[in-house]
Structure 1
């Protein structure tokens, strides 16, 4: 029988598939996953087999998790969900945003939402969908909103799922299994949802500068300093494994046993420890056997039996040593080798951390979404063309998965190639080149290359976002252990109790740092001053959502904070000085009237940034506010036009400068600290002279502020 997917929906009614009917149309299933395509009667349906997004999660619906009384009704509705598009008349009632076909992940989520509903029905003693009344649906709505307190987006998903359940059951299932039409189909969902809150990625907490800075510093150390040592050790480990595998394929010989015995005897005669453990690792017998088998050409089984002999076991117990690889450590940290010697057991772990570091650098320093990073392929960042002496920009070419739609507005799981790539800074290019070397052709984060588990099910897929989140956690643990053991406690990656440095937070954190440009707190502090232009040009062809919206929101948020602080200081009787003092006072008053110091939506952010008189940025290192006016900005001389000041190029004679009493207090405190350093007598004369001149300059600026400060009272008289 032909799959029902090929039959026009108008001809289908009350159809129950046979147990061996394919769940998904064969044309939709990924080639590498066809052997895993489920049948209707299977206890589990893996939805990931129809996703062509390499980083898609392994979503599997297990029917045993549905209540017995309703399981088959929901199984039947789910089959129609994955096989047929929604009825066009029903779609028209919901609007264009109601997709006729769902992506694989959304199909799974819809069926999972139905599972929640099924258990709620079972708890009320309802055993068929036809028994459900409108009052029941309203009770369920109150349950998820009031009793469970679910988020607005979650409730929206649940209600849309019930709308689809009604549409499919009323068209294809017998009357006793048809769900009544939910009231929100005609009335709209707004009245059935929790109160609106800030949506999108802005609800994600940014990672603090101290934490993100330490994480990025260690990631760059791995990529730029440790990488060659790690790859050399991993290659040696791979060689030993191949030798051991080859020996296992042959019958044990006297020669191979003699080689191992000789190797152990030489270690004992020279007083060296026997291979038994790996640094930072517990005793690993299988690792030890592979190590010595690879060194001596002995089979693993023979190596284990020899190592278990009393003479060697007794000596190893008293003199245990690491399975040290012979590759040298060339990377230096503060002039010293970063590692005492990589062991057989450590090589794979360090390589995994290296891949994690490449992911951190690419994901964080480009602003790409997680799926976009995991979908990158070998050759995605070619060397730029042009003369060697000219300025070159590396561009990353990849796929957009989030906004990929076909002509009907339905999601394309394979994504679409972005018309404009992401601009890559050198650190990102280095990370990509390392991944290309590690994985070879194909996906940079190919699951088969980076995770040996279930190789038969991972073809054509990348590591998942959850896997990368877990690997970041393991990396942080390794760093903190290493820092504590090597006297670098001040370089540990500190974070709040229970905090996870999930990569989903990276985009928000990048926007946060660009808007504030922290100095000295994170790696590449100066680079952040240029990242706005780099990131913006990488997203130039897209509508102003995603990273643009994040940048706008964070910039507007910090501008509102600054102006609110200025307004409060003026109300307290404090003063403002500098060429832009009057402009800053006016801007603070206007911001207070229009925004009240708070920006919570993208619309407010856009409104604030569109007013050029409100573009105020603080430079804490120079103790000033920049009331940004491009026509008066000295930092723009000789540079291309930008939408924000270059705070690392502030000029003391700029007409955009304004200072508050707080800045004067800070300058006086800094001057006192510098003079204490000079008076200590511990500094060489040339350095002491420069520091003293700096302290005197700060005193002069503070005194100038005190003499010229403007207050609200003085300005209005």
Structure 2
């Protein structure tokens, strides 16, 4: 091809030559050192466009593209990689349209185009210009016959881009405009009914799973971390010593003194497990004796130790003191040389679990954290200690002023608030990587290998590590007689990174009484989250965790309304100043079946909660329902709040509603407190009994004033 200058339209790219780079220099950030490729090559790496540490490096492979259509496909794809869609094109496609998109989207789009090219080739169509309206219609019917509606819409968008980017080439192939871009896409999509899953349709983790998972994650970070890190340092020291040892007579003598008594007495030999078999721990033995690894190998061969070790495998204890405990007892007699890499992986995984669940960050944001992201706060003027804040980057939908995707993301305007377990987790991760490095650096978390890896541990690797962590926890809990602390199988499948964020929102909205005690740390931030005055918390510039929380809160409120309908239908009476309003609200609130919701539910959830006075919130700690109306609330909600402050619920509030079930629970709680009072010292016992009396008085007031639902409607 020959290069031609097109100076009358800045959006039209000149023709590339065979030697032109796949990614033009202006699109490569200064810090990106990934290798580029040439236009004539069969593999086009897109790594020069990738600066997100959590993202895989991807390529476009041309081997599957039919040769007869390859030149046309190459040119349009190169134009897509290096060009920008016109503003007039983007304006007609909504706020989500981008002039330039991510490397992964480019790879996926090119793959979709190659799939089209193969389909055309099978029908002996040799030019893209021959993909007429009739051909488009036939292809899209076949292509979208077995995919969901959301996926089909994305396919249509990718194929529209084939036409759009062809317009930006100095030598257009003549791709015709797809009919769905003219007539509207709805008629070309499968019928509704299939739900494409996204972040907000992800199932929250079952509380029975999350409880022990958090217990063990905190246990690793707070109790085991020092032991594991010390063991890893000792393992590294032993490896270095073994590598440096030279073959000497003294080393041979030390080998005889160390191994021969074990051989003669039948004592187990230091061993490692490789591919299901036991083998001699040569590095460990070399480091302890001062012999070289080649000396160990020759000695083992001479004395048939490789046969003996298969019959008598033994441990390789590290000389590291064990300080961590479980229930007042050391969690290990010793840490074995072989298990240190596994324990380091589990320690990193435990820290990730805490960061994901106890901040509400998206997985990509956790993967992008670096050492030093959470400095210790400076003391305030009055000597108080400030809050720990996490400075991080976000990546979702980050673009420049021209609408071009920015792979490196951008710094969050508002930092994350870090509670103590998160701070401890970050401090542990900082001890695992060099200063300034990614906390989840794939290179420094590859404990069993020394290969260099790009960026942070990827999502699939972390998902796998979480599953392996659960296996280890369950094995350890069983061996220690702690079967009640095992992590059961989640009814909705693998745990996965994406489920922690949804689960945090679920627990904030539902407030399980004490089962996940750490989640209650966030109960005190309910007003902040609802008012949006500090909208950066748990969010980017907009949306963020607010949308996830709105969904869970709306679902919880709908459940509360449904439960009230069922209770009154079963004959329960209700009391409280908001009783009539609550019944009317319950009668008009829809029932949501299940917890899987589409992306479109986010706006509906926010609108649902904004209906002041007709949204019902269960308050199990207050033994009541709050029919939240801002002007009536005594919990001092901020202007614009769409939910009460459940931790500040006050007697006499005009939003309170109680049922017969609440009265029964009040008396049961009073009985429990009386039982505690009977075993408490005098002053404490009197306070407990007084509290129990208050609860019984509330129950008696309900019985006196409660009315059937029919009397209030």
Structure 2 length-normalised TM: 0.86
Once residues 139 and 217 of structure 2 are traced to their aligned partners in structure 1, the CA distance between those partners, rounded to angstroms, is: 47
Q: How does 1:122-271 map to 2 (within 5 A)?
A: 122-145=121-144, 147-152=145-150, 154-172=151-169, 177-194=173-190, 201-247=199-245, 250=246, 252-265=247-260, 267=262
CA 1:157/1:546 → structure 2, altered by over 3 Å: closer, same or farther?
same
Listed as ranges, the gaps of 5+ residues in structure 2 are none
Q: Any residues of structure 2 matched to 1:243-642 within 5 Å, and which?
A: 243-247=241-245, 250=246, 252-265=247-260, 267=262, 272-277=267-272, 282-283=276-277, 285=279, 288-310=281-303, 312-313=305-306, 316-387=309-380, 389-441=383-435, 442-451=437-446, 458=453, 461-496=455-490, 499-532=493-526, 537=534, 539-540=536-537, 542-577=540-575, 581-593=576-588, 595=590, 601-628=601-628
Give distance in 1, aligned partners of 2:198 and 2:386: 34
Change (3 A) 1:498 1:340: farther
Q: Is the 8 A contact 1:33 1:457 kept in 2?
A: no
Change over 3 Å in CA distance of 1:608–1:198 after alignment to 2: farther
Which has more helix, going by share of residues? Answer: 1
CA contact (8 A) 1:573 1:711 kept: yes
Task: State the secondary structure of the residue aligned to 1:36.
Answer: coil
The residue that corresponds to 1:715 in the other structure is 712
Aligned equivalent of 2:38: 39
How has the CA–CA distance of structure 1 residues 4 and 305 changed in structure 2, closer, same or farther, with 3 Å as cutoff? farther
How far the C-alpha of 1:430 sits from its partner, in A, is 1.0
Change (3 A) 1:549 1:256: same
SS in 2 for 1:447: coil
Q: For residues 175 and 88 of structure 2, what CA distance do their matches in structure 1 show?
A: 17
Give the equivalent residue in structure 1 for 2:104: 105
Helix, strand or coil at the partner of 1:61:
strand
**In the superposition, relative to structure 1, how do residues 93 and 79 fare at CA in structure 2: closer, same or farther (>3 Å)?**
same
CA distance in 2, matches of 1:260, 1:669: 71
Q: After superposition, what is the alpha-carbon deviation per residue over 1:477-529, rounded to whole angstroms, capped at 9, x for unaligned?
A: 21122222222222111124671111112211111110001123224143242
| 8 Å contact from structure 2 (residues 11, 168) kept in 1 | no
Question: Contact 2:535–2:541 at 8 Å: present in 1 too?
Answer: no
**Deviations along 1:253-292, whole A, 9 cap, x unmatched?**
22222222222235557875321146x9954537x11211
- SS of equivalent to 1:285: strand
Question: Counterparts of 1:654 and 1:355 in 2: how far apart (Å)?
Answer: 47
Which whole-Å deviations, capped at 9, do the CAs of 1:69-117 have from their partners, x for residues lacking one?
5445433322222122235554455466432222212211211222333
How far residue 427 of structure 1 moved from its aligned partner, in angstroms, is 1.0
Listed one character per residue, the Cα deviations across residues 645-700 of structure 1 (whole Å, up to 9, x for unaligned) are 4545656666644221233455567788999x99xx9x899999999998887766
* Alpha-carbon offset, residue 45 of structure 1: 2.4
Sort the Cα spacing of 1:558 and 1:435 in 2 relative to 1 into closer, same or farther, 3 A.
Answer: same
Q: CA deviation at 1:309?
A: 3.4
Q: Could you say if the C-alpha distance between residues 73 and 457 of structure 1 is closer, same or farther in structure 2, counting changes exceeding 3 Å?
A: farther
Query: Cα gap change, 1:100/1:634 in structure 2, threshold over 3 Å: closer, same or farther?
Result: closer
Deviations 1:387-445 (A, max 9, x none): 48414111111112113211101111111111111111111111111111210222111
Q: 1:564 to 1:93 in 2, by over 3 A?
A: closer
CA contact (8 A) 1:587 1:614 kept: yes
Contact 2:15 2:170 in 1 (8 A): yes
CA contact (8 A) 1:483 1:492 kept: yes
Report the more deviating stretch, 664-673 or 256-265: 664-673
> Secondary structure in 2 aligned to 1:303?
helix
Correspondences of 1:76-87 after superposition (within 5 Å): 76-87=75-86
CA contact (8 A) 2:6 2:14 kept: no
Computed over aligned residues only, the root mean square deviation of the Cα atoms, in angstroms, reads 3.9
CA drift at 1:302: 2.4
Q: Is the 8 A contact 2:50 2:57 kept in 1?
A: no
In 2, the alpha carbon distance for the partners of 1:3 and 1:370 equals: 43
Shift in CA distance, 538/216, structure 1 to aligned 2, threshold 3 Å = farther
Unaligned runs of 5+ in 1: none
Superposed displacement of residue 573, structure 1: 3.6
Report which stretch shifted further, 507-516 or 304-313: 304-313
Shift in alpha-carbon separation, 1:498–1:92, aligned structure 2, 3 A: closer
Match of 1:64 in 2: 63
TM-score w.r.t. the length of structure 1 is 0.86
- Note the alpha carbon deviations across 1:111-132, whole angstroms, 9 max, x for none: 1222333343344443432332
Query: What secondary structure sits across from 2:578 in the alignment?
Result: helix
- Cα distance change, pair 90–616 in 1 and its aligned pair in 2 (3 A): closer
C-alpha distance in structure 1 between counterparts of 2:375 and 2:619, whole Å: 37
Partner SS state of residue 511, structure 1: helix
Taking a change above 3 Å as real, the CA distance of residues 539 and 14 of structure 1, as seen in their structure-2 partners, is closer
Alignment check: 8 A CA contact 2:239 2:284 kept: yes
Contact 2:670–2:695 (Cα < 8 Å) also in 1: yes
What is the DSSP-based 3-state SS (H/G/I as helix, E as strand, rest coil) of the residue aligned with 1:513? helix
Q: Relative to 1, partners in 2 of residues 1:274 and 1:166: Cα closer, same or farther, differing over 3 Å?
A: same
Contact 1:562 1:618 in 2 (8 A): yes
- Change over 3 Å in CA distance of 1:97–1:320 after alignment to 2: closer
